[in-house]
Amino acid sequence: MMDGASVVDVGRWAVRRRTLTRSLRGRLQGGEYTWAVAFVVPYLAVFATFVAYPVVYGLWLGSEPSLYRELLRDPIYQGTIVNTVLYLALGVNVKMFLALLLSGFFMRPGWWMKVLLLIFVLPWAVPQISTFISIHWMLNGEWGFLNNALYTLFHVEGPSWLNDRWMALGAVIVSHIWKWTPFWTLILLAGRMAIPLEIRDTARVDGATGVRGFVYITVPLLANLYLISTLLSTIFLLGDFNAVYFVSGGGPADSTHVLATLGIRNAFDIAQPRLGVAAVMSALPLVIPLVIVLMRRLRTTEVQL
Amino acid sequence: MAHLTRRSVLQGLAAAGTTRLLAFPHVAKAAATTASVWFAQGFVQDEDVALRKAVADYEKASGNKIELTIIPFAPERQKIISAITSGVVPDMVDSNPAEILSLYGWQDKWVDVSDVVDTQRGQFSETALQSAQAYNNVTKKRGLYGVPLRAGVAPCHIWRTLVEKAGFKIEDLPKTWDAYFDFFKKVQDSLRKQGERKVYGLGFQVTASGVDPYNLFSAFLIAYGGRDIVTKDGKLHLGDPKVREAAVKAVGYLGGAYRDGYVPPSAVNWNDADDNNAFHAKLMVMDIDGTLSTEVAIKEKHPEWYQHEIVTHGFGYPNDNAGKPVPSIVGFTNGLIPKGAKNVTVAKEFLTYFIQPKVLGEFVELGLGRWLPVMPALAKSPFWQNPNDPHLRGYVQQGLLGPTLPDYYVFNPAMAEVRNQHVWSLAMIDVAKEGVKPAVAIDKAFKRIEEMFAKYPIA
Amino acid sequence: MSPIRADAKAGGARVVAPPRRLIRRRRYLSHVGVGLLSVMLVVWSVAPIYNMVLIALEPEGDVFNDQLWPKAPSLESFRGVLTEGHWYLEHFWRQFANSLFLGAMVTFFTLLFGSMTSFSIARMRIRHGWLVSHAALLTYVIPASFLAIPFYRIMQNYGLANNPWSVIAALVAFATPYAIFVFQEYGRSIPIEVDESARIDGASPLQIYRRIYLPLMAPALVAVGTYALLLAWNEFLYQFLLLSTKSSMTVPVALAQFLNSDQSPWNYMMATAIIYAVPPVAIYYAFRRRMTAGLTMGGVKG
């Protein structure tokens, strides 16, 4: 409960500031406004110190046009763009589509489903430095687990998976899908469970079963969540460094780099940090529109369903 | 219930701010007789122990304090680059990777250390002194920026057991270049006939990762007569027909060996450690690899490998096809002092202490001899000349007493870019995997090299 | 396989009931289908993890053999890790504690700042609040790997070099926007009238936040907390770059050391990796029900 002194304080605030600052504060008044600001200040401080300032400094580091000319001259750069686009297109869409289907699968009742879900989530829960290195070794042409298994079980000599650019890139994409599908499946599963029971029951009664049910009921209701998830996933993936770094190492012959790893390689392996910054910044024309769309989507979402 | 007013929030922030302001001067003052040193972690624990001992001895002798940070070499590389870019630097770093001496020397980022080196100038080998200098593009002069601490050379490492299994003896190895490596192809063929389907004769690092492929290619380039690709004045000589011919031959042999199936197929995607893993797993009969890390790594766990089963050539390093000795490129670890360091005095003092022959000699010996000393006099010590050790004598002969060359990036930093951007690797892989003709691959490589050298014009 | 299909039998009025034979076959096929899919999912999910276990159990660190199961499995590597028996691992427990500390702090501050900001924007409806949440999203425009160098410099300037707080700050900065987003979404399911009535009763914002908002948001807090913890646990680049000494490193950085050397005991490395994987898996297991509830963006659970 408010004590006497505070009530007086609030009153004084209101009288003093009402006319001047009404527009600024909207409907919040006095002490409440202070609270609202105080609640936001910690994050804003973190943002200013640890996001805004580094970003501005980074932009300054990467602001010389000659850097971009040099970037274009690097024979690896163009291949890297292709890789990044493929990585995004396949990585995000296959993963989200699988997540959509699997989220439906995991709606089934039964204890086995619960156990299965737990196992399925392991790839996300186990740290990626460990699993991606494990995958890198699994795929070794001579002594990797995958080829050993193929030989022992099917008497098939597997190829050197990481020796060819497209197979290595495929391996990276599959690794990413392996790791992140569980996470997005959980998100979409939650979205499905948020569909009110009445709608699901009515659909059943109306005979909207199987594929029809999926297309006419589930998809429209999940559409917004799906879209937002896809956008977020694309943005996260653009900065993803670990899959390429640990699974293919950017090889063979630097042919499977994506912009994030190229940035690090430029910065540290060839000791040209500004070139590294430029490599990553060259993704901005793609990222900014995505973020704008995402922001718009989030703003117009009044009702989740 | 606490009542948060605007006033109290502001007061709190002000207090926090002031404390921070007050704290900084304290930090600055404390740096007066403490120097911060970064050094790369060794591959075996003994190397770190050796370094710590040298630092401790210095602290006792001088009364100054050294804040030693030993960092694994890959993160250290990144930290050094970040530090120099951001301008917040330690007082001394080791040259990791080696070419930062040249690359940042070009940008005038190092403190001149001729005064330190001069205290022992007569002791250093000629190659060491050459490798400690760099061209400074700001002063347009060459300066001495590094203090040589230790060196490494790339001998051939061979599995005696596999050679003998194939029915040959190590003594059968020819002494001329092409015949030497062709020998291992015969070893592989013989082992294959015996049913060993997973052994390969040649462990050529035909990959675009790490520095091994560059060292490998350079060795072949020099052996075939292309040693003058970059001369002491920093000028590039790609137009020299001898250089071109040597490059074409080198890429032809190395890529060709892969094509013909004498190199493990996964070599194309090896990273820094994979080639050593493969060697230890007896996946290949030989490889060319820098320093004695291959041997030192298993010395404790597999003494029989060290003593008998692995051979280092060293002494048996082949001559060129005309029978003349081939000089080896030696890489150096230098002590460097970044410009902007807070305590240059102590850093220099420490380095002066460190390069006293006794101290420096002990440093490499305690590190199990993975690294070579940089002073020829130290090679005569009982440690290096131990007749019971099968590797050390040959190693020190190849890297210190025999004919040696500094690496090319010492003369012109552009060569460091060639190394880091794996220009030779890409040429080798073109020939090995894509079936490109060696001459075409070299043309492409040469074009790229010219572009890189164009960025580093030395008058 | 949506729930609608599985319940087709219960369809009723508008669907003509198919003959019993057909129903039984459909059910049989559906069971087989589920079984097949289950097996595939298990193999797919577990394979790389199995490989880790396989390598960890090899006695010699011998990654290079043909076996699908080690001929002489040994727990030597696990023992080595737990007793800090190798040079790379001599500070393992300290590093593990560092990782725990990092994870706990990142989780705590992400939840704290995220919920506070979301409370202010969505519940108290601070004017121009949307500016903050959108600015937050801008964090994701610049990928984390890009900010590595600027971050390094700035941490030096703040005197935070080699200090876990630098990594904590970076990770909190990256996790909080997502937290704000989730809290805002989840918060929609809590009617604003609850806040209003508390206000009328004379509660201060702090009280509303502590006594009403946080308890009602519990499932979302758990979900976001788990996400933040896993983010910190999974993260590599910043820890690698900002923490350099053996006593300040976290386990992922220690793991990367193994990759540096010419001859690493890979079995030790994988054993370390497996031990490192236990906390997040355990936490996920403990909180899984709350997690799903928290991700339910405000609807009724089925």
Q: Does C299 contact A304 at a Cβ distance shorter than 8 Å?
A: yes
Q: How far is C37 from chain B (nearest CA, A)?
A: 33
Q: Does A134 contact C52 at a Cβ distance shorter than 8 Å?
A: yes
DSSP state of C147: G
Over chain A, what is the mean pLDDT? 80
Q: How far is C249 from chain A (nearest CA, A)?
A: 15
Q: Does A203 contact C4 at a Cβ distance shorter than 8 Å?
A: yes
* B163 occurs within a structural domain: yes
* A69 occurs within a structural domain: no
The CATH number of residue A113's host domain is 1.10.3720.10
Tens-digit pLDDT profile for residues C13-47: 455 667 788 888 888 888 888 889 899 999 999 99
Best of A7, A128, A134, A287 to mutate (most C CBs within 10 Å, chain C): A134
Q: Which residue has the higher pLDDT, B368 or C125?
A: B368
Return the pLDDT at B218.
Answer: 95
> Are B203 and B110 found together in one domain?
no
Q: Is the pLDDT of residue B104 over 60?
A: yes
> Are B112 and B185 found together in one domain?
no
Cβ contact B410:B332 at 8 Å = no
Cβ contact A32:C132 at 8 Å = no
Q: From the options 3.40.50.720, 2.40.110.20, 1.10.3720.10, 2.40.110.10, give the CATH code of C87-295.
A: 1.10.3720.10
> Are B277 and B425 found together in one domain?
yes
> Are B48 and B192 found together in one domain?
no
Q: Does C145 contact A241 at a Cβ distance shorter than 8 Å?
A: yes
> Are B141 and B95 found together in one domain?
yes
Return the pLDDT at A294.
Answer: 77
Question: Chain C: which residues have CB within 8 Å of chain B?
Answer: 62-64, 87, 148-149, 152-153, 156-157, 159, 161-162, 204, 206-207, 240-241, 244-246, 253, 256-257, 259-264
Q: Which chains border C (3 or more CB–CB pairs < 8 Å)?
A: A, B
Over chain C, what is the mean pLDDT? 80
- Pick the last residue of a domain from A11, A30, A61: A61
Highest mean pLDDT among A66-75, A164-173, C187-196: A164-173
By Cβ distance, the residue of A38, A73, A253 closest to B426 is A253
Q: Is the pLDDT of residue B23 over 80?
A: no
* A305 occurs within a structural domain: no
The CATH number of residue B70's host domain is 3.40.190.10
> Are B244 and B128 found together in one domain?
no
* B125 occurs within a structural domain: yes
A4 confidence band (pLDDT: 50, 70, 90): very low
* A68 occurs within a structural domain: no
> Are B37 and B67 found together in one domain?
yes
Return the pLDDT at B27.
Answer: 36
Return the pLDDT at C159.
Answer: 76
C residues 77-106 lying closer than 8 A (beta carbon) to A: none
Q: Does A269 touch chain B (CB under 8 A)?
A: yes
Q: Does B24 touch chain C (CB under 8 A)?
A: yes
Tens-digit pLDDT profile for residues B36-94: 999 998 888 888 999 999 999 999 998 899 999 888 887 788 888 888 887 889 999 99
> Are A42 and A168 found together in one domain?
no
Q: Does A253 contact B208 at a Cβ distance shorter than 8 Å?
A: yes
Determine the average pLDDT of the residues in B190-219. 91
Q: Does C257 contact B72 at a Cβ distance shorter than 8 Å?
A: yes
Tens-digit pLDDT profile for residues A41-88: 999 998 988 888 888 888 887 788 888 888 888 878 989 999 999 999
Pick from C156, C158, C176, C159: which is nearest to C106 by CA? C176
Best of B5, B27, B41, B274 to mutate (most C CBs within 10 Å, chain C): B41
What residue numbers bound the domain in which B226 lies?
156-289+421-454
Q: Does A267 contact B81 at a Cβ distance shorter than 8 Å?
A: yes
* B323 occurs within a structural domain: no
Q: Does B422 contact A254 at a Cβ distance shorter than 8 Å?
A: yes
* B303 occurs within a structural domain: no
> Are A150 and A40 found together in one domain?
no
In sequence order, the β-bridge partners of residue B39 are B70
Q: How far is C243 from chain A (nearest CA, A)?
A: 16
> Are B146 and B262 found together in one domain?
no
Return the pLDDT at A303.
Answer: 37
* B205 occurs within a structural domain: yes
Burial class from Cβ neighbours inside 10 Å (0-12, 13-18, 19+) for residue B122 reads exposed
Best of A49, A80, A122, A129 to mutate (most C CBs within 10 Å, chain C): A129
User: Using CA atoms, how far apart are residues B290 and B288, in angstroms rounded to an integer?
Assistant: 7
A residues 234-263 lying closer than 8 A (beta carbon) to B: 248-254
By Cβ distance, the residue of C117, C145, C276 closest to A43 is C117
Return the pLDDT at C192.
Answer: 84
Q: Is the pLDDT of residue C216 over 90?
A: no
SS3 per residue for chain B: CCCCCHHHHHHHHHHHHHHHHHHHHHHHHHHHHEEEEEEECCCCHHHHHHHHHHHHHHHHHHCCEEEEEEECHHHHHHHHHHHHHHCCCCCEEECCCCCHHHHHHHCCCECCCHHHHHCCHHHCCHHHHHHCEEEECCCCEEEECEEEEEEECCCEEEEHHHHHHCCCCHHHCCCEHHHHHHHHHHHHHHHHHCCCCCCEEECCCCCCCCCHHHHHHHHHHHHCCCHHHECCCCCECCCCHHHHHHHHHHHHHHHHHHHCCCCCHHHHHCCCCHHHHHHHCCCEEEEECCCCHHHHHHHCCCHHHHHHHEEEECCCCCECCCCCCCCEEEEEEEEECECCCCCHHHHHHHHHHHCCHHHHHHHHHHCCCCCECCCHHHHHCCCCCCCCCCCHHHHHHHHHHCCEEECHHHCCCHHHHHHHCCHHHHHHHHHHHHCCCHHHHHHHHHHHHHHHHHCCCCC
> Are A80 and A222 found together in one domain?
yes
> Are B115 and B180 found together in one domain?
no
Q: Which residue has the higher pLDDT, C218 or A26?
A: C218
User: Using CA atoms, how far apart are residues C123 and C214, in angstroms rounded to an integer?
Assistant: 12
Q: Does A129 contact C121 at a Cβ distance shorter than 8 Å?
A: no
User: Using CA atoms, how far apart are residues B440 and C70, in angstroms rounded to an integer?
Assistant: 47
> Are B177 and B265 found together in one domain?
yes
> Are A126 and A52 found together in one domain?
no
Q: Which residue has the higher pLDDT, C244 or B354?
A: B354
Which residues in A lie closer than 8 A to residue C180 (C-beta atoms)? 43
B248 confidence band (pLDDT: 50, 70, 90): very high
> How many structural domains comprise chain A?
2
> Are A114 and A252 found together in one domain?
yes
Determine the average pLDDT of the residues in B413-431. 92
Q: What is the pTM of this model?
A: 0.81
Q: Does B69 contact C244 at a Cβ distance shorter than 8 Å?
A: yes
> Are B274 and B387 found together in one domain?
no
Q: Does C64 contact A143 at a Cβ distance shorter than 8 Å?
A: yes
Structure token pair of residue A83: 């890789």
Return the pLDDT at C16.
Answer: 65
Q: Which residue has the higher pLDDT, C283 or B327?
A: B327
What residue numbers bound the domain in which A20 lies?
1-61
Cβ contact B270:B278 at 8 Å = yes
> Are B348 and B265 found together in one domain?
no
* B301 occurs within a structural domain: no
In the numeric block, the tokens 């937290």 are attached to C179
Determine the average pLDDT of the residues in B350-368. 93
Q: How far is A155 from chain B (nearest CA, A)?
A: 15
Which residues in A lie closer than 8 A to residue B85 (C-beta atoms)? 61, 273-274
> How many structural domains comprise chain B?
2
Determine the average pLDDT of the residues in B395-401. 91
> Are A97 and A150 found together in one domain?
yes
Q: How far is B397 from chain A (nearest CA, A)?
A: 32
Cα angle: B210, vertex B213, B214; to 5 degrees: 95
By Cβ distance, the residue of A1, A26, A42 closest to C202 is A1
Q: Where in chain C is the domain with CATH 1.10.3720.10?
A: 87-295
3-state SS, residue C7: coil
Tens-digit pLDDT profile for residues A250-274: 878 888 898 888 888 887 777 787 8
Return the pLDDT at C6.
Answer: 42
Q: Is the pLDDT of residue A305 over 70?
A: no
Tens-digit pLDDT profile for residues C81-109: 888 777 777 788 899 999 999 999 999 99
Over chain B, what is the mean pLDDT? 88
Q: Does A58 contact C12 at a Cβ distance shorter than 8 Å?
A: no
Return the pLDDT at B163.
Answer: 94
Q: Does B9 contact A38 at a Cβ distance shorter than 8 Å?
A: yes
Return the pLDDT at B180.
Answer: 94
Determine the average pLDDT of the residues in A25-31. 63
Q: Per mean pLDDT, which range of A89-103, B157-171, B287-301, C107-121 is the poorest?
A: B287-301
Which residues in C lie closer than 8 A to residue B71 (C-beta atoms)? 244-245
Q: Which residue has the higher pLDDT, C300 or B309?
A: B309
